[in-house]
C-alpha cells in the first residue's frame, strides 16, 4: 500500500492529490456527521410521540432527513471505491461492484434531491394560510409527482445497471505488449446517451430545482402574509425584525448551496456528453466540480438536523424521559433489593437468637 501511495504522489499533479484529499475529508466528515444525524433522527422516529398535536417537530421532515442520512452513508461508502480507483489508477473490484457503484451514484443524483424537495414542501405546507390548495396537492399532484419520480429513478437505475461495466483501457505500448488498466465506466450505446442525459437532467435538476426554489422561497412570504392577516401589529413587528429575517437568510442559503453545488455539475455533465475530448485544465475543473454534489449531500442532513430546533428539543425530551424512567426503575430495584436484604437479615437474626436461647422442654 505504501508503494501505491508513493507512486500516486509521484505521478499525479498537486491538484489531483488535493482532490483525493478532499474526497477523503468528505468521507470522514460525512461518516461522523451522518452517524450523529442518525442518532438524533433515529431516536426521534423510534421513541417520539406519534400524536401530531403533541410533538414539536414535523414527522415527515424527520423521515426525509433520515432517508437522506442513510442514502448519504451508502453514497460515501461507494465514494471510497472511486478514491481507490484514483489512487491506484484502475478498478480492482470486479464488474458486479462496478454496476453497484453506478447504481449508488443514482442515490446522490436523484433520491437525495427529491427528499430535499419534499422537505421544502413540508415547510411550505406548515405555513400555508389556506388548506384548499394543499389538500388538492396531496390528493392528486403529490401522488402523481411521487409516481413519476419513482418510475423515472427505477427506469434510469435499470439503464445504468445494464450499461455499466469494466473495460480494459490501453495506456502505453511496451516491449512485452500493450499495457492496459481496467476501468469502471458507464457506456450506453450511441444515440441512447442523449435520451438518458435529457431525462436525468430534467428530473434530477430542472424539476427538483424549480420545486425546491418555489417551496422554500414562498416560506418567508407566506409567514409575513399570515402574521399580517392577524390584528397584532406588535407580534408582526417582532416577527419581521427577527424570525422572518432569519428565515429569509436560512432559505436563501439553502437554495444558494443547492444551486452552487449542482449547477456546475450538470453544466459539465452536458459538456462532457457533447464533447469527445477535454483539455487537461477542463478535466481538472471537472474533477473539482464533481466533489460539490458529494459535499452538498453530506452537509444537508447535518445542517438540517442542527438547525431544526424541533428535532433537538424532541431528542432532548426523549432522552430526559428515558433517563428518568431508567432512574425510577433503578431506584425501585434498589428498594426491592434493600427490602429483600432486610428480610433476610431479620430471618438470620431470628435464627441466631433461637440457637443462642434454646427452648427447654
Q: pLDDT by residue (tens digit) across 181-218?
A: 788 888 888 777 778 888 888 888 888 888 888 887 77
For residue 79, is it within any domain? yes
Q: Judge whether 73 lies within some domain.
A: yes
Q: Report the DSSP beta bridge partners of residue 178.
A: 173
At 361 the pLDDT is 42
What is the per-residue pLDDT for 316? Answer: 85
In a domain, 125, yes or no: yes
Residue 359 lies in a domain: no
Note whether 173 and 198 are within 8 A (CB): no
What stretches in the chain show pLDDT beneath 50?
50-54, 231-237, 241, 360-361
Residue 78 burial class via C-beta count within 10 angstroms: exposed 0-12, middle 13-18, buried 19 and up: middle
- pLDDT in the model for residue 246: 66
**For residue 197, is it within any domain?**
yes
Number of other CB atoms surrounding residue 106 within 10 Å: 20
Locate 222 and state its grid cell: 407566506
Whether 9 is in a domain gets the answer: yes
Confidence at residue 235, expressed as pLDDT on a 0 to 100 scale: 46
- Write out the residue range of the structural domain in which residue 101 sits: 2-47+58-307
Measured CA to CA, the distance from residue 112 to residue 114 in angstroms comes to 5
pLDDT value for 128:
66
Question: Per DSSP, what are the bridge partners of residue 169?
Answer: 181
Q: Residue 214 sits in a domain of what CATH number?
A: 1.20.1070.10
C-alpha cell of residue 155: 427506469
Number of domains in the chain: 1
The per-residue pLDDT for 133 is 53
Domain-embedded: residue 10: yes
**Bridge partners of residue 168, in order along the sequence:** 182
Residue 325: strand, helix, or coil: helix
Q: Confirm whether 335 is domain-assigned.
A: no
- Separation CA 115–CA 252 (nearest Å): 18
Amino acid at each position: 500500500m505504501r508503494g501505491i501511495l508513493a507512486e500516486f504522489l509521484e505521478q499525479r499533479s498537486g491538484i489531483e492529490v488535493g482532490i483525493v484529499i478532499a474526497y477523503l475529508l468528505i468521507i470522514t466528515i460525512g461518516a461522523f456527521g451522518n452517524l450523529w444525524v442518525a442518532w438524533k433522527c433515529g431516536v426521534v422516529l423510534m421513541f417520539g410521540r406519534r400524536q401530531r398535536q403533541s410533538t414539536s417537530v414535523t414527522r415527515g421532515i424527520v423521515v426525509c432527513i433520515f432517508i437522506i442520512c442513510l442514502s448519504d452513508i451508502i453514497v460515501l461508502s461507494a465514494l471510497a471505491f472511486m478514491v481507490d480507483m484514483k489512487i491506484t489508477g484502475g478498478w480492482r473490484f470486479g464488474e458486479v461492484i462496478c454496476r453497484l457503484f453506478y447504481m449508488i451514484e443514482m442515490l446522490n443524483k436523484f433520491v437525495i434531491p427529491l427528499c430535499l424537495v419534499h422537505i421544502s414542501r413540508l415547510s411550505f405546507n406548515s405555513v400555508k394560510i389556506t388548506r384548499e390548495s394543499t389538500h388538492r396537492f396531496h390528493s392528486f399532484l403529490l401522488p402523481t409527482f411521487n409516481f413519476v419520480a419513482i418510475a423515472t429513478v427505477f427506469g434510469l437505475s435499470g439503464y445504468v445497471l445494464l450499461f455499466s461495466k469494466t473495460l480494459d483501457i490501453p495506456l502505453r505500448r511496451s516491449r512485452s505488449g500493450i499495457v492496459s488498466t481496467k476501468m469502471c465506466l458507464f457506456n450506453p450505446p450511441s444515440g441512447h446517451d442523449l435520451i438518458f442525459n435529457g431525462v436525468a437532467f430534467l428530473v434530477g435538476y430542472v424539476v427538483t430545482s424549480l420545486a425546491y426554489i418555489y417551496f422554500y422561497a414562498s416560506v418567508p412570504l407566506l409567514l409575513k402574509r399570515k402574521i399580517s392577516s392577524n390584528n397584532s401589529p406588535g407580534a408582526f413587528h417582532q416577527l419581521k425584525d427577527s424570525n422572518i429575517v432569519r428565515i429569509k437568510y436560512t432559505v436563501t442559503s439553502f437554495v444558494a448551496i443547492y444551486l452552487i453545488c449542482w449547477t456546475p455539475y450538470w453544466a459539465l455533465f452536458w459538456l462532457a456528453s457533447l464533447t469527445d475530448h477535454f483539455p487537461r485544465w477542463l478535466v481538472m475543473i471537472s474533477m473539482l466540480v464533481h466533489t460539490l454534489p458529494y459535499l452538498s449531500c453530506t452537509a444537508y442532513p447535518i445542517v438540517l438536523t442542527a438547525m431544526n430546533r424541533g428535532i433537538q428539543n424532541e431528542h432532548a425530551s426523549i432522552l430526559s424521559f428515558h433517563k428518568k424512567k431508567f432512574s425510577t426503575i433503578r431506584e425501585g430495584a434498589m428498594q426491592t433489593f434493600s427490602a429483600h436484604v432486610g428480610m433476610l437479615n431479620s430471618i438470620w437474626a431470628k435464627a441466631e437468637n433461637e440457637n443462642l436461647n434454646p427452648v427447654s422442654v
